[in-house]
Amino acid sequence: QVQLVESGGDSVQAGGSLRLSCSVSGFLYSDYCMGWFRQAPGKERSGVALIDSDGTTTYADSVKGRFTISKDSAKNILYLQMDSLKPSDTGAYYCAATAVRCHHRAVVFSSGRGFGYWGPGTQVTVSP
């Protein structure tokens, strides 16, 4: 059984940093795409960052240069390092995984469509 569980969400002031973690268990695919998504109040879910099984990363324009996605394969943990946080980064953050590569046509970064496994989410609140 695949299980993803996020942690690390918190309330911080603008300009601060947070590191989100996603513990992944039962996901035994050698080819995969994993990512972070967020949903702000009253808005649809949107893609934040992806990492492919070959290490290739993709970022939303709004977080480029501020966020870094990484994966510790030995510990099966997906990370999202978030620096220079802005109030617009506020939202529920979800990690997700799929057993196809990130460039697969079924994967839609903007919405998260194509990802079959999701965590319950962790809240990030950035105050001005």
Mean of the per-residue pLDDT values of the chain: 97
Closest by alpha carbon to 91, among 10, 5, 15?
10
pLDDT per residue over 96-128, tens digit each? 999 999 999 999 999 999 999 999 999 999 999
pLDDT per residue over 78-91, tens digit each? 999 999 999 999 99
Q: Quick one: pLDDT at residue 63?
A: 98
Q: Quick one: pLDDT at residue 103?
A: 95
Q: Quick one: pLDDT at residue 59?
A: 98
Percent of the chain surpassing pLDDT 70: 100
Q: Quick one: pLDDT at residue 51?
A: 98
Work out the average pLDDT over 55-68: 98
pLDDT per residue over 52-61, tens digit each? 999 999 999 9
